[in-house]
Amino acid sequence: GRLDVSTHPFTGGAGPEDVRITTRYSDNWIEGLGATVHETGHALYEQGRDLGEEGRGLPASVALSMGVHESQSLLWERMVGQSRAYWSWVTPKVHERFPFTKECTAEDFYKAFNRVTPGCIRVESDEVTYPLHVILRYDIERALFRGEMSVDELPEYWNTRMKADLGVDVPDDAQGCLQDIHWSFGAVGYFPSYTLGAVIAVQLFEAAQASIGADKLDAQLAAGEFAPLREWLRENIHSVGSVHPSPDELLTTVCGEGISAKPFLKYLTDKYTELYDL
């Protein structure tokens, strides 16, 4: 594995034995940490492929859709990196590296990482408002391909929807419709993978809790013991690759049901009802 800096966090490389991730840093140090944990989730999926004689080059060694890939990055970023258990472990390490944070408690960090603040930039958005960024992009893609919108109309439509959906005023196209790299290199249709990944991540984490034990897993994360969760994912998701022909069938095998938004919505409702005393 290798970590470098780039304009947009990304995971790539030549294969499971040569996985390279990038991250970025800004005045908001939280962004750099979150992006690094996110890309590490992608990297673990790549490194966890079946490289045995029976798996190499066959479905077992091929990732099962980008939605499942995003579930791995978002599971580590959100279920782990944004959890109380994680911050109880990592807070002393943050204090050591960033002395100006020493007055901040683990609970302070937990609340800071889970603050809901609508904004212009998708990659900086919180997990509650993030799906609205994805829905906007998907609606635009469908309209463009159906011939219902021209490219020239896109910026105005974008700005109108951002105001209507998120209450946000877009100051310029750089912070609006030109902020993502996906369309510029032809990754049209990719954005839904992020929200599919967020939905799947909750289902898989709940399955891991059921298998390992919710309290036991929480205690492991609080102690910085990430290997048990990684190995559970490696056995049930990473090394299985595309043996199952669809994410629905993978989830049915691992979780008992196909892709469902209900656990995701319950996760958000329970978490933010408690956080914001709703």
Is there a catalytic annotation at residue 274?
no
Q: Residue 118: which residues within 8 A CB-CB, separation 6 or more?
A: 125, 129, 166, 167, 168
Residue 19: phi and psi, rounded to 5, are -105, 130
d(CA 278, CA 186): 42
Token pair of 1, please?
A: 């594995």
Give Cα 247 to chain centroid, integer Å: 16
Q: Residue 135: which residues within 8 A CB-CB, separation 6 or more?
A: 165, 195
Q: Looking at the DSSP assignment, which residues form a beta bridge with residue 2? A: 20
Residue 13: phi and psi, rounded to 5, are 125, 180
Name the one residue in this structure whose structure tokens are 């635009």.
140
Tell me the torsion sign for CA atoms 255, 257, 262, 265.
Answer: positive
Other Cβ atoms within 10 Å of 45 Cβ, number:
27
Inter-residue contact 70 to 48 (CB < 8 Å): no
Catalytic residue selected from 39, 70, 77, 141:
39
Active site residues: 39
